[in-house]
Each structure stands twice: as C-alpha cells, then as structure tokens.
Amino acid sequence: MKKLLVIILIVSAAATWAGCSDVRRDRGREYMPDMAYSRAYETYDGHEDLKVKNINYNATPVAGTIKRGAMFPFPIPMDKEGDSTNYVAARQVPNPFTTLTEGQAKEAERLYLINCAICHGTALDGNGPLYNGGNGPYPAAPKNLVADPVVSVMPEGQICYSVTYGKGQMGPYASNLRTDQRWMVVKYVKMKQLEKQGGKEPSAGAPTQSQQQAASSGGNQPGGGASGDNPKASGSRTPQPNQ
C-alpha cells in the first residue's frame, strides 16, 4: 500500500512539473482563429503593408458621408479667405434645436464650460481664465457673448458658422464637437443672451451697417477680442464629414 502511494505521489509530481514547464510542446487547438487573430485594420495601426498591395487607405471618411444617426452637417461651406458671403448667408440657417430639455441644457452647459469658458468665461462675459480681468495671458478680452452689441443679437446660424469654421482669433471647433453638440451650445448661448435681455428675442432682420463692416474686417465674431482672421485658426482647414 505504501509503495502504491509513493508511486502515485511520484507520478503526480512528475505530471505537475511537466505541466508547469514554460516550454510549450503543443500549441493546442483554436476553436475560432478569426476571433483570436483580428483581420481588421485598427485606426492607429500602421498601414504600410497596404501600400505594398497598392491599396490607398488613409483612414479618412469619404467626403459627404455621415455616420448612422448623426445630424446632417452645417449646410453652408466655409468662405474663402477675404470673402464673407457664406458668413452673412449663415444668418438664415435655423437651429434644429428650437428649445432644450433640462438634460440637454445641462449637457450644453457642460460642453460650453469645457470648450468655451476658458476664453468667454463661465458668465459668458469674456472674462475667462485666459483674460482674467487683464491679469491673464491674453492682453485683450474675448467677446462678451451676452453684452456685445453685435454678438448678443447675432442669429444662431451665424454663431454656429463661427463655431464650426472659426472666426477671428477663435479656431474651429468642428473636430471637438459634433454637429448636434455645436447647435446645443449655440442654443445655450442664445438662452443666456435672452436672459440678459429680459427674455425678449431681438429680430435678426438684415445685417446693420456696423455688422457688415465687422464681418468684412473679421471683427464680427464670438471669438477672440482682436479683429482680423487668423489663417492658422480658420482659413486652412478642410471641413470634415462630421461637421
């Protein structure tokens, strides 16, 4: 009986030692190798092997395409440098959000605080951390979105144009915010403007002479305080399909 027990212990020890060895003698069987080894090309992986096969792939969506369930892009293209025709035409583009639900308003405020408040301030008064009452790194205050005589009455379509393509010292935010998110932020800004104006929405009408002059000089924008377009911010981007 003792001999049998010793034999069992020896065999068990040998089996354990062989099973725990770091040398793999049998690679085993793969039930679904296509799931174990992905054939898909990942976004940030190298695609050099495709060039060898004469396959042109740059991971960029086809122009004019949008993902399923996404809102249609802003309908007016960006002006060419020195032109403001589309910027003025954007005044007639309606906001698809006629109002915001409580949840949408909270999300719009969150998006504004993340993307806009650093310049325009949490109170939309242009006194964000970058200006900070004149003590920040910006020497000139960004636009006061609720008190500026031009921006405070600017139609929502024109504000969305500026957010999408950039204007003045403000760069484009099409890559930061989806189309619906930009419109929600615009509606949030408009709601704050109406609160400041006592809840009465001014008539957009035709642009005044001062607004036309500001548009042609680059000063009619909800972005930076200095006038003049920044080509690095707004003139060199090709709108992407998610705009």
CATH, residue 110? 1.10.760.10
Note down pLDDT in tens along the chain; length 243 residues: 777 888 888 888 777 766 665 666 666 677 777 777 777 777 777 777 788 888 877 767 787 788 888 899 999 999 999 999 999 999 999 999 999 999 999 999 999 999 999 999 999 999 999 999 999 998 999 999 999 999 999 999 999 999 999 998 899 999 999 999 999 999 999 999 999 888 755 444 444 444 444 444 444 345 443 333 333 333 333 334 344
Question: What is residue 99's predicted lDDT score, i.e. its pLDDT?
Answer: 95
d(CA 74, CA 174): 10
The helix or strand, by DSSP H or E, that contains position 36, with its residue range, turns out to be helix 33-36
Question: What is residue 112's predicted lDDT score, i.e. its pLDDT?
Answer: 97
163: containing domain: 85-200+208-235
d(CA 148, CA 156): 15
Alpha-carbon dihedral 76, 189, 111, 90, rounded to 10 degrees? 0
d(CA 158, CA 88): 7
Question: What is residue 93's predicted lDDT score, i.e. its pLDDT?
Answer: 97
Answer yes or no: is 66 within a domain.
no
Answer yes or no: is 175 within a domain.
yes
Question: What is residue 18's predicted lDDT score, i.e. its pLDDT?
Answer: 63
Answer yes or no: is 127 within a domain.
yes
Question: What is residue 233's predicted lDDT score, i.e. its pLDDT?
Answer: 37
d(CA 11, CA 141): 82
Question: What is residue 226's predicted lDDT score, i.e. its pLDDT?
Answer: 34
Question: What is residue 84's predicted lDDT score, i.e. its pLDDT?
Answer: 94
Answer yes or no: is 142 within a domain.
yes
Answer yes or no: is 60 within a domain.
no
Answer yes or no: is 29 within a domain.
no
Answer yes or no: is 161 within a domain.
yes
Question: What is residue 224's predicted lDDT score, i.e. its pLDDT?
Answer: 46
Answer yes or no: is 44 within a domain.
no
Q: Which pTM does this prediction carry?
A: 0.62
For the chain, the domain total comes to 1
Check if the beta carbon of residue 124 is closer than 8 Å to that of residue 145.
Answer: yes
Question: What is residue 108's predicted lDDT score, i.e. its pLDDT?
Answer: 97
